[in-house]
Amino acid sequence: MADLTTRIVGDRARVCSQLLDRLPARGSGSVLSAYSSGFNISVGEELLYMGSTDRALSCTGAAVSARERNVLRARARPGDLVTLRDRVVRVYDRLGVTEIDLSGFEPVDLSLASIRSAAIDDEARTALIRCLDELDLATTIGIARDARLREHLHRLADPDSSSAGIARGVEFLLGRGAGLTPSGDDVLMGLGVARWLQRRETRLIDAISRSGLDRTTPVSRAYLRALIAGAANENYIDLGRAVAAAQTERFGGLIKSIRAVGHTSGSDSLLGFALGWGLDVDRLLSTKPQRTHSGCRASTSDGSIASPGAFRVVRGTRMNRMCTRSGIYHLA
């Protein structure tokens, strides 16, 4: 009988090292979902996303060349049986068996803890806030900008909110919206990453870990579990490292790459990320023409461009603030 097994060697392939640590030695599952950029495999309680190396690595996944990804994608169908043994994934598809040996993949550290120990200086913080303030997220997020959203985002953004208020905000956002990763979950992801990077993650992450993650999709559950464990997608890790190293010239391009993720996922997560750095909820959700898109220059309330001197950091007893002509932003 002919050997119908296709082996993916994975030349220059990569895998999230935190995912390798979470995967069981043995297990079974199925192909959960498939789309043009890759597909998701469920194995027990874990999820493995198979993507390609021409995109940022997922904290729940692995990446092979675009050619190998296309081979895998052409064969895999939702519902196909999957087994895992000693880091070898076998997909039993309509053409036979596809083997993916993760032990030969390069492990990549996507832990937020490797970044957050570095001090973030005021210049880098201010430059990041300028970039985030330019984004006209209100027109591209996938969640309704109603009074309830504003109420809960204010709670989550306020450093003086009670633990109960934070829990209510998490409960409101969890699973809210359509798609493989509902918009509310993406907002929580971005906010959580910002909290991790600033060492202010405890209450939000605790609230997410205590929430009923079964209320959302399997893909979102995997990402939120990774966040709870302190991991994030490579594009956020790269942005965090750039902030820690004060590589301000990289901020615009990295934020642009995050925003390009999914239909609205990138914008949704950046909304949460911006809140985590102290940007005003109502300003972020406004569609008024007050932002520019020209290399992270800041805009003011009258639409003019703020000079670098328009931004200054004010030290307070409870928090820092960045003052601009258009408002005051609380800095974590």
Q: Indicate if the pLDDT at residue 157 is higher than 70.
A: yes
Asked if 255 and 242 count as a contact pair (C-beta separation under 8 A), the reply is no
3-state secondary structure of 182: coil
- How far apart, in whole angstroms, are the C-alpha atoms of residue 187 and residue 225? 15
Span of 10-14, 33-37, 129-133, 211-215 with lowest mean pLDDT: 10-14
Query: Which residue has better confidence, 294 or 122?
Result: 122
Asked if 129 and 280 count as a contact pair (C-beta separation under 8 A), the reply is no
Strand ordering across the sheet containing 320-324:
312-315, 320-324, 327-331
What is the structure's pLDDT at 45?
86
Q: Indicate if the pLDDT at residue 62 is higher than 80.
A: yes
Would you say how long the chain is, in residues? Answer: 332
Span of 18-22, 162-166, 326-330 with lowest mean pLDDT: 326-330
Confidence of residue 318 (pLDDT cuts 50, 70, 90): very low
- Token pair recorded at residue 176: 């809210």
Confidence of residue 316 (pLDDT cuts 50, 70, 90): very low
What is the structure's pLDDT at 119?
74
Q: Indicate if the pLDDT at residue 28 is higher than 90.
A: yes
Q: Indicate if the pLDDT at residue 97 is higher than 50.
A: yes
DSSP state of 306: P
80: enclosing H helix or E strand: none
- How far apart, in whole angstroms, are the C-alpha atoms of residue 275 and residue 283? 10
In Å, what is the CA distance from 4 to each residue of 91, 96, 277, 309? 12, 5, 52, 66
Query: Which residue has better confidence, 116 or 249?
Result: 249
Q: pTM for this one?
A: 0.85
Confidence of residue 12 (pLDDT cuts 50, 70, 90): confident
Query: Which residue has better confidence, 142 or 309?
Result: 142
DSSP state of 30: E
Average pLDDT over residues 244-271: 95
- Token pair recorded at residue 261: 């993720």
Q: Indicate if the pLDDT at residue 323 is higher than 70.
A: no
